Structure 1
Amino acid sequence: MSTYVFDTTHTNIGFVVRHAMITKVHGSFTDFDASFDPDAQTATATIKVNSLDTKNKDRDAHVLSGDFFDAENFPTMTFTATSTTLTSSNQGTVTGDLTIKGHTQPVTLDVTITGPAEDPYGNTRLGVEATTTINRKDFGIDFNAPLNTGGVLLSEDIKIIIDGSAIKQ
């Protein structure tokens, strides 16, 4: 077994949401524990919701409130892989249970692995890129506001993007 732990200083776990029907807002989480074992085909992640950063403190406070993540009552989000499928030597899918705000739904991530590479400190690293799109309402996040020009403030679809480096343990 080869367990890899994501290096938080070289990994971004983020999301993108359509805002005001004309642009996109990006956010990321800076405090998380995530690991995977490609041989055993396992993966887990725990993300501390309060580590949210959308580059706007007022927006962060609102997104952490009960309108969205309700971080006071649901301080973490989790992911646990339930199956993996390889489509080539470095690409595949990872399906698992994602829990946000107390709601658990199955999601499938499209994954690309690069490497291995040895860093200057003798660590063996793999690069990981993973994406999926979820409907935020499936996770109890249904805040929205109508726009005077028609439509709503936020899209229901949220793109999740993981781009990182993981170190072999």
Structure 2
Amino acid sequence: MKKYAIDFSHSTIGFSVKHMMISRIHGTFESYSGEIVSSNIEQMQDANISITITVASVSTKNHDRDVHLVSPDFFDADVYPKIVFTSTYIDNLDDKTFAIHGDLTIKNITRPIVFTTVYTGKGVNPWAQEVFGFQAKAQIDRRDFNLVYNTFLETGGVLISDEIDVIVDLELNPL
């Protein structure tokens, strides 16, 4: 088994949520760590993946919203400072597409999740190091993790949708 490091300057853990039923708000987590091991990263079949996200690093490019997201109304980062994903098994859907099954823990609530993951290719960076790219997507219902804050709109509907799209772009380097 070979270990892989995340190239943080070329990777993103992001999300989007529908706002007022008409547009989407996008955000990222700026601080996270990961442990990825596999005998063949391009095949992913035997990969073990663990990602830990620092909740307080959330960024939606709006300071007041970010402060609200880490408050007890949402993530309650003082009590639950980490989000953790741990893979449980991986299905090969085709040559470059995988279903990565795992457990996602937010606010000490763990739920199963499946990331549809595309192997986007490999290359050699300017320092002669191999790099591998992946994009993973999933959707969660925030209520499953006790992220229930919301406001009803006078015009009908809600301020924040319950469905959160999670998009992870990773560039990995073998160690």
State the TM-score, normalized to the length of structure 2.
0.93
Match for residue 154 of structure 2?
148
Q: Does 2:82 match 1:72?
A: no
Match for residue 8 of structure 2?
8
Which amino acid counterpart does residue 11 of structure 2 have in structure 1?
T
Partners of 2:121 and 2:134 within 8 A in 1: no
Match for residue 43 of structure 2?
none
Partners of 1:8 and 1:30 within 8 A in 2: no
SS of aligned partner of 2:2: coil
Which consecutive unaligned segments of at least 5 residues does structure 2 have? 40-45
Give the whole-Å Cα distance in 2 for the aligned partners of 1:10 and 1:78.
21
Which amino acid counterpart does residue 127 of structure 2 have in structure 1?
Y
SS of aligned partner of 1:3: strand
Match for residue 95 of structure 1?
101
Match for residue 115 of structure 2?
109
SS of aligned partner of 2:99: strand
SS of aligned partner of 1:9: helix
Which segment is superposed worse, 38-47 or 104-113?
Answer: 38-47
Shift of 1:35: 3.1
Give the whole-Å Cα distance in 2 for the aligned partners of 1:85 and 1:27.
28
What aligned pairs does 1:118-129 form with structure 2 within 5 A after superposition? 118-129=124-135
Give the whole-Å Cα distance in 2 for the aligned partners of 1:117 and 1:3.
17
Partners of 1:49 and 1:64 within 8 A in 2: yes
Identity of aligned residues (%): 37
Which amino acid counterpart does residue 147 of structure 1 have in structure 2?
L
Aligned counterpart in structure 1 of residue 88 of structure 2, from 70, 78, 82: 82
**Deviation >4 Å, runs of 4+:** none
Which amino acid counterpart does residue 116 of structure 2 have in structure 1?
D
Deviations 1:44-97 (A, max 9, x none): 100001111100000000011011110010111000000001112221110000
Give the CA RMSD over aligned residues. Answer: 1.0
Give the whole-Å Cα distance in 1 for the aligned partners of 2:50 and 2:8.
14
Shift of 1:101: 1.0
Give the whole-Å Cα distance in 2 for the aligned partners of 1:158 and 1:98.
13
Match for residue 140 of structure 2?
134
Aligned residues: 169
Deviations 1:95-145 (A, max 9, x none): 000001111000000001122211111221110100000000000100000
Which amino acid counterpart does residue 17 of structure 1 have in structure 2?
V
What aligned pairs does 1:22-37 form with structure 2 within 5 A after superposition? 22-37=22-37
Match for residue 45 of structure 1?
51
Give the whole-Å Cα distance in 2 for the aligned partners of 1:114 and 1:37.
18
Q: Does 2:91 match 1:62?
A: no
Which amino acid counterpart does residue 9 of structure 2 have in structure 1?
T
Which amino acid counterpart does residue 33 of structure 2 have in structure 1?
D
Give the whole-Å Cα distance in 1 for the aligned partners of 2:7 and 2:31.
11
